[in-house]
Amino acid sequence: MGPGWRAPSAALVAGSVAIFAGLRRVALALPRPAAVRSRPGRAWRWLNLLVSFAHSVLAGLWALFSLWHAPELLSNIQDGYSVSGHLLVCFSSGYFIHDTLDIIFNHQSRSSWEYLVHHAMAISAFVSLIITGRFLVAAVLLLLVEVSNIFLTIRMLLKMSNVPSPVLYEANKYVNLVMYFAFRLAPQAYLTWYFLRYVEVQGQGAFLTANLLLLDAMILMYFSRLLRSDFFPSLQKGSAGRDVDGEKFLID
């Protein structure tokens, strides 16, 4: 197998969509915290976060394994290739498609438009990688963000469930910050530098560079929101009486 095996890749993406649909059904059967059960508006969000958490654990560890198993890929970001990386991109593409459909079919588009924008960028970029077989390593590097998302999702789940132990939230708050720098900001900054310096600004290269720059802006905006919420709450404006249902953090 190699770059360009399009029909099998499409089947893998479709299979991934089915896997996450199955995971959502499993999540439906799991017990929910009282704070979630008492707030109907939180039910969908809770299930959505559980599925997101599953993707973050699987994809984050998979991305780490792919780069650890074949570190030579980092020397060829444009044309490097591995079957593991290809399968990972198909797997995550399926998740983003599933989550997009979940948002739309459950009438959450208006409140979750940020996620839809992010998912549209991810799906279009990943499809271009699957078709051309180029920049696969860049996608694996970007998917390191899922390691950070493990702790970001835990943060949101803790807030929604109103866990009575502030120590657990405080500990995760600092781990989340470290992981945000290590697995979200650092890979994103490196790839942005690489694309601006080495990638041709035409065709697929121009499309992916534009995607990266837009993602840079989104990540910095949400990072500032995260800092204000967890470390500088006095700087938040208009947040009085606002609960977790109204907070929008990009977690995929």
Residue 18 pLDDT > 50, yes or no? Answer: yes
Question: For residue 47, what are its two tokens?
Answer: 């299930």
pLDDT confidence band for 242 (50 / 70 / 90): very low
Can you state the angle between helices 6-29 and 40-69, rounded to 10 degrees? 140
At a CB cut-off of 8 Å and minimum separation 6, what does 21 contact?
Answer: 98
Share of the chain above pLDDT 90, in %: 79
What count of Cα atoms within 13 Å lies in the side-chain half-sphere of residue 51?
29
Predicted confidence at residue 6, as pLDDT, reads 67
Residue 205 pLDDT > 70, yes or no? Answer: yes
The mean pLDDT value for 128-139 works out to 93
Predicted confidence at residue 23, as pLDDT, reads 97
Check: CB of residue 125 under 8 Å from CB of residue 211. Answer: yes
pLDDT confidence band for 70 (50 / 70 / 90): very high
Residue 246 pLDDT > 50, yes or no? Answer: no
Please indicate, yes or no, whether the overall pTM of this predicted structure exceeds 0.85.
Answer: yes
Share of the chain above pLDDT 70, in %: 90
Check: CB of residue 157 under 8 Å from CB of residue 131. Answer: no
Calpha distance 65→84 (Å, rounded): 9
Calpha distance 142→137 (Å, rounded): 9
Predicted confidence at residue 39, as pLDDT, reads 82
Check: CB of residue 33 under 8 Å from CB of residue 161. Answer: yes
